[in-house]
Amino acid sequence: MNSPILPVLEQLNKVVLGKPFQVKLAVVCLLAKGHLLIEDLPGMGKTTLGQAMAKVFGLDFQRIQFTSDILPADIVGANIFDREKSAFEFHPGPVFSQLVLADEINRATPKAQSALLEAMEEQQVTVEGKTYELPHPFFVIATQNPTHQIGTYPLPESQLDRFLFKINLGYPDPALEKVLLKGESGRTKMPSLESLLDLETLEGLQKSVSDLTVTEHLLQYVMDLILATRQSPDFAHGLSPRAGLAIVSAAKAWAFVDGRDYVLPEDIQQVFVSAARHRLQSVKTSSASTIELIEALVKDVPVPA
């Protein structure tokens, strides 16, 4: 079942070695019509993943390198005076692309960051009173350096909420890294990737994902988890209803990738940490990281029988 997705994963795993879970999450994110935030150190293959996804899904791809002096106009585009027509003409920025890789998003100033994040939320861009629709599908993969690094502007919580998932890639497995060092993977293989899907197929997949069966019983489990985050003393505040929606649609996509037409509690468990970790703030009373706290919380909440 789902023959279109399995080869996609296969292809991607050839480029991004030893990260099947993260690759699956990235694909799930795209199918659930969400945006992806990857946080990691430079050189862990964030850009590679983005480029590979664009290529495999057959989307047009633009990359925006965020720097501290980037301006909103550099992202969304600007009206430029055309001498021949003696009129202002809108020159779309790199955001007008189906897959946008926003690299090192937290190195830009908040003003530039919010330009992109607004585009993500509204699916449209407004320049000087005129509104321009963004292409469909519109998928943003943003990468950011760990916030403790020098020269970063952490994204505010309200903007973090726009991302469906936040994932880490992490160091590759030593054996696989050796393969990488031999030059047999990574970007070197990029040109050999084929585009496996077209736009229509992708939209069809996205539609069937949203049609998946979600029973009352499963929603009860989601509610239990969300309520647990609200009651837990470990977090400054609990998950929002928007987070709940994100979790449900992500779980649907996960179930779809797994080849099922119904959602199980396991799907929720698989996507919960990635969907919740950037939306929750630990009150830092224990040494455990936010991820560990969320994992413990999932372990604590029984699945409704």
Q: Least distance (Å) from other proteins to the CB of residue 158?
A: 24
Q: Is the CB of 181 or the CB of 283 nearer to other proteins?
A: 283
What does the alpha-carbon distance between residue 45 and residue 139 come to, in Å, rounded to a whole number?
18
Concatenated DSSP letters of 15-55 = HSTT-HHHHHHHHHHHHTT--EEEE--TTSSHHHHHHHHHH
For the chain, the residue count is: 305
Q: Is the CB of 193 or the CB of 264 nearer to other proteins?
A: 264
What does the block give as tokens for 49?
């993943």
Under DSSP, the state recorded for 149 is S
Q: Is the CB of 150 or the CB of 305 nearer to other proteins?
A: 305
What does the block give as tokens for 93?
């920025």
Q: Are 233 and 283 in contact (CB under 8 A)?
A: yes
Q: Is the CB of 148 or the CB of 299 nearer to other proteins?
A: 299
Under DSSP, the state recorded for 230 is H
Q: Are 49 and 88 in contact (CB under 8 A)?
A: no
Q: Are 137 and 98 in contact (CB under 8 A)?
A: yes
Q: Least distance (Å) from other proteins to the CB of residue 281?
A: 16
Q: Is the CB of 64 or the CB of 218 nearer to other proteins?
A: 218
Q: Least distance (Å) from other proteins to the CB of residue 238?
A: 12
Q: Is the CB of 123 or the CB of 220 nearer to other proteins?
A: 220
Q: Is the CB of 176 or the CB of 298 nearer to other proteins?
A: 298
Q: Least distance (Å) from other proteins to the CB of residue 253?
A: 16
Q: Least distance (Å) from other proteins to the CB of residue 302?
A: 4
Under DSSP, the state recorded for 62 is E
Q: Least distance (Å) from other proteins to the CB of residue 271?
A: 13
Label the pairing between strands 87-92 and 99-103: unpaired
Q: Are 142 and 132 in contact (CB under 8 A)?
A: no
Q: Is the CB of 166 or the CB of 252 nearer to other proteins?
A: 252
Write the CA distances from 186 to 21, 56, 231, 236, integer angstroms: 17, 14, 44, 40
Q: Least distance (Å) from other proteins to the CB of residue 30?
A: 24
Q: Least distance (Å) from other proteins to the CB of residue 63?
A: 38
Write the CA distances from 195 to 21, 82, 110, 199, 297, integer angstroms: 21, 37, 35, 11, 40
Note the helical H segments in 58-188: 72-76, 110-122, 157-160, 174-181
Task: Give the residues lining the site for other proteins (CB under 8 A).
Answer: 213, 215-218, 228, 231-234, 262-266, 268-269, 285-286, 298-305
What does the alpha-carbon distance between residue 6 and residue 131 come to, in Å, rounded to a whole number?
38
